[in-house]
C-alpha cells in the first residue's frame, strides 16, 4: 500500500492535480518505482474556477496517426465532487453537422450555439468516450479518470487568445451515442477503466487498485503487510494485488482500476 503525493498544475481557468500518474508530463516517481512500469491511467482532480476550453480527444488509432507510435488516445470520465448551483458542462453537439459547418462555426465564434449543455451537481457522473466534444463549466470540481495520455485538442476557447487545434479536433471527432449523465450508479466499467464506490470495511483486490477518499472522518487503512496510512479527504492510495486492506473510521471511497 502506498500513499501518493499530487502534482499540481495551475491553469488560467483554475488548476488540476495529477493524483495518480506515471505519464512523463506528470510522473509520480514513487508510483513508478513501486510498480516498475507504465500505469495505463491518469487520475486527476480538476477545479474549474472558469469554464475550460471546448475540447475533443482522439482514440488510440487516431492518436497514433496524428501524434506517432506509442501514444494513447484518451477516453475519460468525470465524477462531480462539487458544483455551484446551476453549474453546467458542455457534453456533445446538438444535431448532425458536417466538419465544414463546425469549422465555419468555430471561425465565426458561434460554436457555443452548437454545443449540448447539461446541468450537474455533486455526485453526478459523466462518461466521455474519445471523440466526444466536451468542456467543464465554471464552478465545477471533478475527479477525472482517463487513459494515460496528455493529448488535448482545443476546438474553441470562448474568445481567449490561445492556440486552437481545429483540424486535429475534426479528425478526432466521432458521432458518439452518449450515455445519459446523472447520479453515479455505484459502479461503472468500460474497456479502459472501472470505478466503484467502496463502503465496506475491508477488501482484497485481485489487481492493482487505487482508493480515493471521497468523504470520511478518522480514516485509517491497515494493510496485511503491516503498513498503516492515515487518510484525509481527496487522498489517494495504491493497493497492490492480494493485499488485504482493513478500513477504520467513517469513509466513502472511490475504487479505481
Reported as a single tens digit per residue, the pLDDT across 221-239 is: 999 989 999 999 999 999 9
Query: Do both 63 and 109 map to the same domain?
Result: yes
pLDDT of residue 58: 97
Query: Do both 165 and 200 map to the same domain?
Result: no
Residue 177 has pLDDT above 80, yes or no: no
When divided into structural domains, the chain yields a total of: 2
In tens, the pLDDT along 94-115 reads 888 899 999 999 999 999 999 9
Which entry of 72, 141, 154, 160 is annotated as an active-site residue?
Answer: 154
CATH, residue 56:
2.60.120.10
Query: Do both 66 and 182 map to the same domain?
Result: yes
Q: Report pTM.
A: 0.96
- Asked if 150 and 112 count as a contact pair (C-beta separation under 8 A), the reply is no
* Catalytic annotation present for 72: no
d(CA 59, CA 56): 10
Residue 176 has pLDDT above 80, yes or no: no
Query: Do both 135 and 213 map to the same domain?
Result: no
In tens, the pLDDT along 48-97 reads 999 999 999 999 999 999 999 989 999 999 999 999 999 999 999 988 88
143, 162, 189 — which closes off a domain? 189
d(CA 254, CA 251): 10
Residue 197 has pLDDT above 80, yes or no: yes
Q: Give the structural domain span for 246.
A: 194-256
- CA–chain centroid gap for 40, Å, is 13
Q: Tell me the average pLDDT of the chain.
A: 95
CB under 8 Å to 222, separation ≥6 — which residues? 228, 245, 246, 247, 248
d(CA 195, CA 30): 23
Question: Which grid cell sits at 68?
Answer: 506517432
Amino acid at each position: 500500500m502506498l500513499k501518493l503525493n499530487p502534482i499540481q498544475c495551475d491553469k488560467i481557468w483554475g488548476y488540476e492535480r495529477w493524483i495518480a500518474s506515471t505519464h512523463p508530463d506528470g510522473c509520480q516517481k514513487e508510483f513508478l518505482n513501486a510498480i516498475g512500469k507504465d500505469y495505463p491511467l491518469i487520475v486527476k482532480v480538476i477545479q474549474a474556477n472558469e469554464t475550460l476550453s471546448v475540447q475533443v480527444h482522439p482514440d488510440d488509432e487516431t492518436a497514433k496517426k496524428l501524434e506517432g507510435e506509442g501514444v494513447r488516445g484518451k477516453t475519460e470520465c468525470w465524477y462531480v465532487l462539487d458544483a455551484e448551483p446551476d453549474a453546467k458542462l458542455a457534453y456533445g453537439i446538438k444535431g448532425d453537422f458536417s466538419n465544414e459547418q463546425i469549422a465555419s462555426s468555430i471561425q465565426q465564434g458561434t460554436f457555443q450555439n452548437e454545443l449540448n449543455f447539461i446541468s450537474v451537481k455533486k455526485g453526478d457522473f459523466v462518461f466521455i468516450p474519445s471523440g466526444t466534444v466536451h468542456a467543464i463549466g465554471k464552478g465545477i470540481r471533478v475527479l477525472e479518470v482517463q487513459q494515460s495520455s496528455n493529448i488535448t485538442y482545443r476546438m474553441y476557447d470562448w474568445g481567449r487568445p490561445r492556440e486552437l487545434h481545429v483540424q486535429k479536433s475534426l479528425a478526432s471527432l466521432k458521432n458518439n451515442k452518449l450515455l445519459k449523465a446523472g447520479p453515479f450508479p455505484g459502479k461503472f466499467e468500460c474497456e479502459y477503466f472501472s470505478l466503484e464506490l467502496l463502503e465496506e470495511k475491508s477488501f482484497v483486490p485481485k489487481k492493482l487498485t487505487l482508493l480515493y477518499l471521497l468523504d470520511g472522518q478518522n480514516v485509517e487503512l491497515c494493510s496485511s503487510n503491516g503498513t498503516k496510512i492515515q487518510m484525509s479527504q481527496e487522498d489517494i492510495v495504491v493497493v497492490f494485488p492480494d493485499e488485504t486492506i482493513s478500513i477504520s473510521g467513517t469513509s466513502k471511497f472511490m475504487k479505481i482500476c
